[in-house]
Amino acid sequence: MLIKRTGDIPNSEVTPQSVYMNRRKFLAGVAAATGAATLGARSVSDWLEPARVLAEGTKLGPLVKSPFSADEPPTPSKDVEHYNNYYEFGTDKSDPARNATKFVTSPWSVSVEGEVNKPRNFDIEELRKLVPLEERIYRHRCVEAWSIVVPWIGYSFSVLAKLVDPKPTAKFVAFQSYYDIKQMPLGPRAGIALPYVEGLRIDEAMSPLALLTFGMYGETLPNQDGAPVRMVLPWKYGFKSIKSMVKVRFTQNMPPTTWNIADAHEYGFYSNVNPQVDHPRWSQATERRLDGSFFGKRIKTLMFNGYGDQVASMYNGMDLRKYY
């Protein structure tokens, strides 16, 4: 298993943004009337517009400004798009941006199944149009002690969950990424079992902060950042936010997760950001903000990545050193 620290990555590994401006075309719709009830006083006419053909990387919108956004300036998009963990496309931070340029993300569908009363298969365009898309500026903390601030675009995963009507027996939610060795020939070198799988307790998945994500920086997701749909969980370490999602399964039992399978000693199921619990190979007390320089700004890491007010109650009574 190959993991690099931020301080080990020279500027020379950051790929120029201009190399990745040719992106495929696909349809991107905006909010459908089925989501109007979630807007309160906001009217359908405020956000509804005809679906149109968009080139990948063009603007999504109109967007609802979310109350969950952090009051921090975003990390430059060129840094977020060219410093990635996506092992299916290579284990160096610069590999995914270089190797995912031809990744085919259309057509795309996501199946939702398991302990639900209404299992469904959602086309990506259908998913995008369920409710108005929100822009949320989230802090994002990686286990290797680097961090970013990103304006993500999506809506709470609970919107999707409620449509399939989970049964009382559903205690967890399992997620699976897309994997095709023909498109991801570096996958066998990743050192982890593929396809990539992740999981949450159902109350975590239903948190308003758990974001089903379709874009960032006002545009559709770049391939290397998890196109066309991913999860973003800002109070957990980054590897919990599964990319290029194709399957969601509600389960009675705790599902397996990729990094926990690879090394349970280093990667627990919960993986909440906790500066008091060190990774076995480095401290988690501080983090370095990714800013394109060799020495990014180092700051103190916050419990639950600063989202304690929203999520801490889910872990009352738990020993967070045991359930790390």
CATH number reported for the structural domain that contains residue 83 in this entry: 3.90.420.10
Residue 199 β-bridge partners: 174
pLDDT (0 to 100) of residue 57: 66
Any domain includes 286: yes
Beta-strand pair 197-201/245-251: unpaired
Task: Count how many Cα atoms sit within 13 Å of the Cα of residue 125 in the half-sphere of its side chain.
Answer: 12
Position 183 scores a pLDDT of: 98
CB 121 within 8 A of CB 249: no
Whether 143 and 238 have beta carbons less than 8 Å apart is answered as: yes
| 201: β partners | 172
Length of the chain counted residue by residue: 324
Question: Mind listing the pLDDT tens digit of every residue in the chain (324 residues)?
Answer: 333 333 333 333 333 333 333 333 332 333 333 333 333 333 322 322 333 333 456 689 889 989 999 999 999 999 999 999 999 999 999 999 999 999 999 999 999 999 999 999 999 999 999 999 999 999 999 999 999 999 999 999 999 999 999 999 999 999 999 999 999 999 999 999 999 999 999 999 999 999 999 999 999 999 999 999 999 999 999 999 999 999 999 999 999 999 999 999 999 999 999 999 999 999 999 999 998 666 677 899 999 999 999 999 999 999 999 999
How far is 145 from 6, CA to CA, in rounded Å? 7
pLDDT at 13: 35
What pLDDT shows up at residue 59? 82
| Ramachandran angles phi, psi of 158, nearest 5° | -60, -30
Answer whether residue 324 is part of any domain. no
Cβ-in-10-Å burial (0-12, 13-18, 19+) of 174 comes to buried
- Pairing mode, strands 211-216 and 146-156: antiparallel
Could you give the 3-state DSSP secondary structure of residue 247?
Answer: strand
Total of domains in the chain: 1
Amino acid (1-letter code) at residue 116:
V
Give domain status of residue 320, yes or no: no
Q: Containing domain of residue 168, as a range?
A: 6-315
1, part of any domain: no
- Torsion sign, CA atoms 281, 88, 74, 235: negative
pLDDT at 291 (0 to 100): 80
For residues 112 and 133, give the distance between their C-alpha atoms in angstroms, rounded to a whole number: 20
Would 183 be classed as within a structural domain?
Answer: yes
> In this structure, is the dihedral angle defined by the CA atoms of residues 279, 224, 193 and 322, taken in order, positive or negative?
positive
* CB 167 within 8 Å of CB 116: yes
CA-to-CA separations, 25 to 34, 40, 56, 243, in angstroms, rounded: 26, 33, 5, 20
pLDDT attached to residue 24: 33
Torsion-angle region of 271 (φ positive above 0: left; ψ -120 to 50: alpha; else: beta): left
User: How far, in Å, CA of 92 to CA of 84, rounded?
Assistant: 8
Tokens coding 286: 């501080």
pLDDT at 295: 67
* Gap between the Cα atoms of 32 and 10, Å rounded: 45
Amino acid 6: pLDDT: 34
Global confidence as pTM: 0.82
Does 321 map to a domain?
A: no
Q: How far apart are CA 11 and CA 52, in angstroms?
A: 38
Q: Is 217 exposed, middle or buried (0-12, 13-18, 19+ CB in 10 A)?
A: buried
